């Protein structure tokens, strides 16, 4: 496997976006979701090596407010901010077109980027994508309710970080959460301002899905408590070229809980 390279790109607003990359070939951008401690490399730690081995150039950005990217305070974290800052960084990184793979908030970013920049996305792979319901509806989901935490405060502990990650997956998977993943996310969470979550603002992009004409592959856990699995119907009803796959006894993290299956199905989709 090729070495991992790191770069930081300046974007509008005086912010910096951090990117890790590896491999050679067509670009595949993995866009992580939200939550305390999220980052590109940690969220897709069990996925990206398989894509490098399959002949792709893997791009692992940290969204603004996450990972090693800038974490401004006192601002609204809007979907447009996430999308614009990431797109600018990808262009600066030499990416002119790519397959976009996004989970949760990252799925919403992938959708917004596809709408804003026709021709940039070749295909979309979305795992429980966000931004296809009203934001208020997401906050009614049981997983969001259980995510309430004092992250970033003096009482935030690595045990609390493990609990937050456990909420993302099916109970059967919780004992298999890797210590390394908990440690990586805890290190990031301690540097994040609360604004990253409490001032997040996302629109409902479902009415615009019909504008997307690239092939879309949606994967969803049947037991997702964060983004309702019924959202898959939005893509089947509105998109010209969409396929959906649902996994039983799986929560919000298909790419983690079903890593081997996710890798195999996604790579088959990319080869079509």
Catalytic: 252?
Answer: yes
Catalytic position from the list 32, 170, 252, 265: 252
- Summarize the confidence of residues 172-180 as an average pLDDT: 95
Owning domain of residue 181: 5-271
The pLDDT tens digits of the residues spanning 189-219 come to 999 999 999 999 999 999 999 999 999 999 9
pLDDT tens digits, residue range 1-32? 569 999 999 999 999 999 999 999 999 999 99
pLDDT tens-place string over residues 100-158: 999 999 999 999 999 999 999 999 999 999 999 999 999 899 988 877 667 777 788 99
The candidate with the shortest Cα–Cα distance to 254, out of 151, 168, 138, is 168
pLDDT confidence tier of residue 88, bands split at 50, 70 and 90: very high
pLDDT of residue 171: 96
Percentage of residues of the chain with pLDDT beyond 90: 93
Q: What is the CATH number of the domain that holds 11?
A: 3.40.50.1820
pTM over 0.85: yes
How many domains does one find in the chain? 1
Helices (H), the chain: 40-43, 48-53, 79-92, 105-116, 135-138, 142-146, 158-168, 179-189, 195-198, 232-238, 254-257, 259-271
């Amino acid at each position: 496997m090729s070495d991992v390279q790191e770069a930081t790109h300046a974007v509008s607003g005086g912010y910096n976006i951090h990117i890790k990359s590896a491999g050679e070939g067509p670009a595949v951008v993995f866009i992580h979701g939200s939550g305390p401690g999220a980052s590109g490399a940690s969220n897709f730690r069990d996925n990206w090596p398989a894509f490098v081995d399959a002949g792709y150039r893997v791009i692992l950005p940290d969204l603004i407010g996450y990972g090693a990217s800038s974490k401004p305070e006192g601002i609204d974290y809007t979907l447009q901010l996430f999308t614009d800052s990431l797109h600018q960084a990808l262009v600066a990184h030499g990416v002119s077109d790519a397959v976009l793979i996004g989970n949760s908030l990252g799925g919403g970013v992938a959708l917004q980027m596809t709408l804003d920049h026709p021709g940039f996305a070749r295909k979309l792979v979305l795992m429980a994508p966000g931004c296809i319901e009203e934001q208020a509806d997401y906050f009614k989901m049981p997983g969001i309710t259980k995510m309430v935490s004092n992250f970033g405060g003096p009482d935030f502990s690595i045990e609390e970080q493990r609990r937050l990650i456990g909420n993302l997956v099916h109970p059967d998977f919780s004992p298999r959460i890797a210590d390394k993943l908990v440690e990586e996310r805890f290190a990031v969470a301690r540097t994040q301002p609360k604004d990253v979550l409490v001032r997040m603002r996302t629109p409902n992009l479902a009415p615009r899905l019909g504008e997307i004409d690239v092939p879309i592959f949606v994967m969803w856990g049947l037991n997702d408590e964060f983004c309702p699995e019924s959202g898959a119907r939005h893509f089947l009803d509105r998109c010209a070229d969409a396929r959906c796959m649902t996994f039983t006894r799986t929560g919000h993290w298909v790419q983690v809980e079903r890593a081997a299956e996710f890798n195999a199905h996604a790579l088959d989709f990319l080869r079509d």
